[in-house]
Amino acid sequence: MIESIKHIFIEETSRDLHQLNNELQSVSFENISGEVTEKIFRTMHTIKGSAPMFGYNNIAEIVIPVVETYRALSKGRLEFDNQIIEKTKNIVLLIQDELNKGDDHLPANDEEKQMLVSFFTDMNRLNDRTND
């Protein structure tokens, strides 16, 4: 059953990532709106819940720290800077790349992926420390 719905997941996630990518091209840390921030959070949140249901555990692992970073950003517990915007653009492309590879490829251990996941994980640690 899940297999037959997988193509819907791939199509909708690709569409959402494409939209995010387009929106991110025109924003900077100085002008990003609450609406775009909320949309990034919601899209990542959706992917976090749906990706493992279709075998994309690797994608879920990537988005978990992004979700928490955007939760903190949307609540004003973290502030946007250029680096966050740039890393978000990169992670959107990385998720699309993982989606294109399919669910049965060996987990990537490349430098770019590790660097991006570490960046968002560090952001969350910073947020946790700030709010302790």
Partner 1 sequence: MAKTVLIVDDSESIREVVNFTLQNEGYDVLVGVDGEDALKFLDGRTIDIVITDLHMPNLDGLGLIRKVREMEAYKHIPILFLTTESQASKKMEAKQAGATGWIIKPFVPAKLLSAISRVLR
CB 75 within 8 A of CB 26: no
101 binds partner 1 (CB under 8 A): no
Q: Give the max Cα distance, the chain.
A: 45
102 binds partner 1 (CB under 8 A): no
How many residues are recorded in the chain? 132
And the tokens for 9?
Answer: 């997941």
54 to 93: interface string for partner 1, x by CB under 8 A? x-----x------x--------------------------
| The only residue of 29, 53, 115, 128 in contact with partner 1, by rule CB under 8 A | 53
52 binds partner 1 (CB under 8 A): yes
Rounded CA gap, 90 and 103, in Å? 20
And the tokens for 75?
Answer: 């609540």
Q: Looking only at residues 11 through 30 of this chain, which bind partner 1 when binding is defined by CB under 8 A?
A: 12-13
Residue position matching structure tokens 């992004």: 66
CB 66 within 8 A of CB 98: no
- Closer residue to partner 1 in complex, CB, 12/81: 12
Q: Which residues bind partner 1 (CB under 8 A)?
A: 1-2, 5-6, 8-9, 12-13, 39, 41-42, 45-46, 48-54, 60, 67
